[in-house]
Amino acid sequence: MAARKSGFIVGAVAGAGVACAALAGVGMRMGPAGAAEQEPSLVRASATSAPMFAPPPGAPLSFADIFEKVSPAVVQIDVTSKADPKARLRIPGLEGLPFDIVPRGQKPGEEGEEAQAPKQQSSGSGFFISADGYIVTNNHVVADADTDGINVVMKDGRELKATIVGRDESTDLAVIKVTDPKAKGAAFPYVNFENQARPRVGDWVITIGNPFGLGGTATAGIISAYGRDLGDNSSQFVDYIQIDAPINRGNSGGPSFDIYGRVIGVNTAIFSPTGGSVGIGFAIPADVAEATAKQLINGGKVVRGYIGAQIQPFTSEMAEAQGLAGTKGAIVADLVPGGPAQRGGLMPEDVVTSVNGVAIKSGSELTREVAKARPGEVIKLAVLRGGKPRTVEIRSGVRPTEKELADNDNEGGEKAAPAKPDAPKAEALGMSLSPLDDAGRKANGIDASIKGLLIDNVKASSDAGEKGLRKGDVITSVNGEVVATVAEVNAAVETAKKLQRPSVNLRIVRAGRPTIVPLKIAP
């Protein structure tokens, strides 16, 4: 189970043994006179006593029937992978120091027997979705598995070899298939996804999995919430279900069921300050899991639509700056040169309010709707440009992998450069600004294609300072109007004041990456 701890998602770890102790019966002790006394700290419930309270309406008296029905389809997944060979050579607690231990007889940088990667074991969960052996699990459970390094342990104790069919980092889902010759011709028990009647918040949920290596473990709880964002890449494509049924490390990839034994989600992460369950778990919804699994089975990968636009949330402050209070959507910060969006006529600072007729309220929703398109399919975006509605049609491309996107984001980072010589400066919105000339470009590593005003200084007490603007950033436009002088910035601010708008939207470029920042107009 991936544990969310202090804002980070921690990957799966090997299942650990857990010692369990049961407390049963009433403790007895001998009094001074030899008479038996009841130990007050221990209590035994009578087998015939009535329940202390009635279960809520609609609640099952037991989950045993559900467990018996679906548990044969849930499996333990044991994975063998290579460990970091340097992990054994580092001094515990001093990993941050710039040296490693070199084995005796081996020169620094020399490969030897000691440098060979050792094997490590980890465990997760999964479940059959077909009689011919396809199993859904989490990508992080099997991503690092060696060839022939995946073992599936069934409820009846059988251990079978499996191989990876396909993985999808974007949703943290994977499909594996039993390929063990011992299982040839076997029909496996399987379960179905619930993709029709979505359970409500408060409905019962039962999970089955392999926490800490304790296979075949069932826990129960309720659906706590929908639409949770884990703050990582997967949240672009997954609105997570929050559940309070206890799940722990090793539950990753296991199913959550409704009271009819249908899969409503794939358990993926927990929020925990301790690494153990605190009653806040997250599952990938059944519709996302089913659609992803089908693509992985059919083609080994997931193909998503792509328009080539950098987007960000359209906040209430941005909306007020454009006189669009109450408008929901996503704002375009930049376009990939020559990409589908640019070819289709989308422009920076357009506000996208719907995709193919589906209203959107955030950048994640826009990405999710675009991703549903097939390559070559026309995507219709409803946008606001300068406050006026229009429709932009874009022919979808193919979304690059997350690694490719990350590599593109990291290109051309901050560059060290000599100090910029003095240039004419003027004040606006709590910032000292100057024209972007050749000297300024060279000093700050700014590409020649970027036009605008260079920020030379920011007052820490200003809204610009509080929003994180800093020396070396470039202002390219204010409220959609391109600016090259401080006079043009001030003119845009005065126009906003006359329209009684409390803020202006600045398009800022930093290290080659643009973003939209709303700044309050000082009284």
Closest among 332, 350, 335, 340 to 377, alpha carbons compared: 340
pLDDT lower than 50: segments of the chain: 4-52, 86-104, 108, 113-115, 411-423
pLDDT of residue 408: 63
pLDDT of residue 111: 52
140 is in an annotated binding site: yes
447 is in an annotated binding site: no
- Spatial separation of the C-alpha atoms in residues 506 and 482, rounded to whole Å: 10
* pLDDT, tens digit, 9 for 90 and up, residues 270-307: 887 777 778 889 999 999 999 999 999 998 888 899 99
251 is in an annotated binding site: yes
146 is in an annotated binding site: no
pTM, 2 dp:
0.69
Report phi then psi at 2, rounded to 5: -75, 125
Closest among 140, 164, 170, 81 to 403, alpha carbons compared: 170
492 and 465 in contact (C-beta within 8 Å)? Answer: no
Do strands 173-178 and 159-168 pair parallel, antiparallel, or not at all (unpaired)? antiparallel
How many other β-carbons are positioned within 10 Å of the β-carbon of residue 490?
A: 16
pLDDT of residue 34: 44
96 is in an annotated binding site: no
Name all domains of the chain by residue range, CATH numbers in brackets: 204-288 (2.40.10.10), 305-401 (2.30.42.10), 426-520 (2.30.42.10)
Give the residue numbers annotated as catalytic, written as ranges: 140, 172, 252
383 and 351 in contact (C-beta within 8 Å)? Answer: yes
